[in-house]
Amino acid sequence: MHSALFYLAAIPAVVIMGMSKSGFGGSLGILAVPLLAAVISPAAAAAVLLPILI
Amino acid sequence: MRILLPGAIVGIVFGTLTFRYTSDAVLRALIGLLAVGFVLQRLLRRGQVHERQQPNVLKGTVCGALSGFASFIANAGGPPFLVYLVPQNLDKRVFAQTAILFFAVVNFVKILPYAWLGLFDAANLSTSLMLAPFAPVGFWLGREALARLDQVVFYRVVTFLVLLAGGNLLWSSRSLFIPA
């Protein structure tokens, strides 16, 4: 289970990623991994986000 | 596309090796550098007008490789891709189709090495599953915002957040650069 801090970073990260896919904010999906890597291991951050990206 | 993709595959291979053979601290530093570099590039390129450029195999391969690598370690393959394609002044639809196809292929190819690295374990996958519903929420918000909000302001705020997130990662991996 993850801490509250994790969700505090992860939920906005995924929301912004979704927003960038809608054409609003262009390539700002770049925020997601740096944000997540602050709270979990960087490799896990990339791995968690890839299935969502696809 | 034919020029960018082979480069991207090379970049993904390098990304895989980086994941395999470096520590979390090094990865954090790399992701931090990418994030800060992204912001700096934005600031420096503001208002710059490009001369129209022809497709170029060398530049395309290098940009493709950088894009594949950045995409692999931080899902940040966009900027090098744009550096190569924007100056070609492609038709809007051709440009969008190329971008969608390129990143679909890159993201798809990434699955195999991620799996090989053991990154798709139960913990990560269940986290993905839990977070996945928020992506359509963001998509919907983005569409609503497109009609109502000033994109430039949003852009500045998020770019600033990227800078903060990148700076934070560099700070937490500072022991790499400054011996204790």
To the nearest whole angstrom, how far is the Cα of B50 from the nearest Cα of chain A? Answer: 19
Report residue B122 CA to chain centroid gap: 25
Query: Between residues 75 and 114 of chain B, which touch chain A (CB distance below 8 Å)?
Result: 75-76, 78-79, 82, 107-108, 110-111, 114
pLDDT in tens, B16-65: 877 777 777 787 888 888 888 888 877 887 666 666 777 778 888 888 88
pLDDT of residue B149: 76
From CA B87, how far away is CA B156, in angstroms rounded? 23
ipTM summary value: 0.83
CA distances from A29 to A12, A52, B42, B86 (A): 11, 12, 15, 19
Q: How confident is the model at residue B98 (pLDDT cuts 50, 70, 90)?
A: confident
pTM value is: 0.80
Domain residues of chain A, as ranges?
4-53
Chain A CB contacts of B95 under 8 Å are none
Mean pLDDT in residue range B83-106: 83
Q: Is the CB of residue A42 less than 8 Å from the CB of residue A33? A: yes
Residues 6+ apart with CB under 8 A from B9: B68, B109
Q: Answer whether B31 sits within 8 Å of A37, measured CB to CB.
A: yes
pLDDT in tens, A11-51: 888 888 888 777 665 567 778 887 787 777 777 777 778 77
Q: Answer whether B165 sits within 8 Å of A34, measured CB to CB.
A: yes
CA quadruple A18, A23, A25, A31: dihedral, nearest 10: 40
